[in-house]
Amino acid sequence: MKVLVTGGAGYIGSVLVRLLIERGYDVIVLDRLFFGIDSLKEIEDRIKIVKDDVRWFDPSILNGVDVVIDMAALSNDPSGELDPQKTLEINYKGRVRVAKLAKKHGVKKYILASSCSVYGFQDGILDENSPVNPLTTYAKANVLWESETLPLADKTFCVTALRQATVYGFSYRMRFDLAINGMVLGLFKNGKISIMRDGTQWRPFVHVKDTSNAFIRVIEAENDIVNGQIFNVGSNEQNFQIFPLAKLIADSIGVEFNYEWYGSPDNRSYRVSFDKIRNVLKFSPKYTPKEGAREIFRALKEGKLIPDDPRTITVKWYKNLIEMDKILREIKINDVIL
């Protein structure tokens, strides 16, 4: 079975692609490679990599593809605000284009890599029927994308949206701008964790291998239980308040729990219910923040992760690319970088 993963060189994509090939799938990655190709180097000869953009790729690559997992995006709130217009072009219009072309080219399943951030901050426990409350361009693009692609679902084209919790754990394109990963880096580099005031805020989390496995679960599920459906991806047990989570991370690694506060007091929270994915897809995560923190700390100690790699802070890296774009335009080289 042939699976095309857009954004497959990214943080989640580069883990997911490895799990897909382990399970015997033929994999095509469509990615602009904004963070380079290092994340796929080891498996380069086992997959097909197409360096192109969701906004203008040649649709013939969809011929013979059975499943599309659409991950390509400017992938967090701050990156999404650098150039809101571009964020909408890529995360909304570009991915709707992928979905429509997939349907036209006979792809059978289309899976959206959406986010629990569509709920914004709300009281109570939020499930798939809760109203959305997108507070940023990134979250708005996800809502627009979902609302235009879920209605494409029919008997021949199965569409499923996976709203992922905040992801953590080791990846081949590492992101230290994600909460748990950043806490581990703080302990490794500075011996302390920076915690956003006042630490009582709730957030849901999921390990990168678990969220990847949720995509595989949808590929392998009968269409009638996933078609046109939205699932939150995570587990009820992994809704955490930030301050106790930071302590848990330090304890898991076995180092002293030192911390410093930053930001003005902000206790805006959201807690998410993951009952639906557990009941319908029988999905429950195998990993916890404890294992995630340990594997990252080990990788840092062994030199498998470089603490100061500029690509690990997504917004900073995209800012550099935008600056490069400007310079190239000034000297009249019209190579679009972003």
Q: Which residues here bind ligand NAD, judged by CB under 6 A?
A: 6-7, 9-13, 31-35, 53-55, 71-73, 75, 90, 94, 113, 115, 164, 166-167, 173, 175, 178, 314
CB of 191 to ligand NAD, least distance (A): 25
Strands (E), the chain: 2-6, 26-31, 48-51, 67-70, 109-115, 125-126, 158-164, 166-168, 193-196, 202-207, 229-233, 239-241, 259-262, 271-272
Indicate the residue among 255 and 319 with the shorter CB distance to ligand NAD. 319
CB of 147 to ligand NAD, least distance (A): 16
CB of 281 to ligand NAD, least distance (A): 17
Indicate the residue among 117 and 229 with the shorter CB distance to ligand NAD. 117
Q: Which residue is nearest to ligand NAD (CB)?
A: 10
Indicate the residue among 255 and 269 with the shorter CB distance to ligand NAD. 269
Residue position matching structure tokens 């999921």 = 206
The two tokens of residue 313 are 């802070």
Indicate the residue among 201 and 258 with the shorter CB distance to ligand NAD. 201
Residue 172, number of CB atoms within 10 A of its CB: 20
CB of 95 to ligand NAD, least distance (A): 8
CB of 37 to ligand NAD, least distance (A): 10
Indicate the residue among 16 and 281 with the shorter CB distance to ligand NAD. 16
Indicate the residue among 191 and 336 with the shorter CB distance to ligand NAD. 336
* CA distance to 71, 125, 287, per residue, from 17 (Å): 12, 32, 19
CA angle 139, 141, 147 (to 5 degrees): 105
Residue 221, number of CB atoms within 10 A of its CB: 19
CB of 178 to ligand NAD, least distance (A): 5
CB of 50 to ligand NAD, least distance (A): 9
List of residues 6+ apart from 140 with CB closer than 8 A: 88, 92, 134
Indicate the residue among 56 and 262 with the shorter CB distance to ligand NAD. 56
Indicate the residue among 254 and 281 with the shorter CB distance to ligand NAD. 281
Residue position matching structure tokens 């302990």 = 187
List of residues 6+ apart from 304 with CB closer than 8 A: none
- For residues 291 and 297, what is the distance between their CA atoms, to the nearest angstrom? 10
Indicate the residue among 58 and 222 with the shorter CB distance to ligand NAD. 58
CB of 254 to ligand NAD, least distance (A): 25
Residue 6, number of CB atoms within 10 A of its CB: 28
CB 71 within 8 A of CB 233: no
264: closest CA among 316, 201, 314, 315? 201
Residue 165, number of CB atoms within 10 A of its CB: 24
CB of 224 to ligand NAD, least distance (A): 26
What single-letter amino acid sits at 254? G
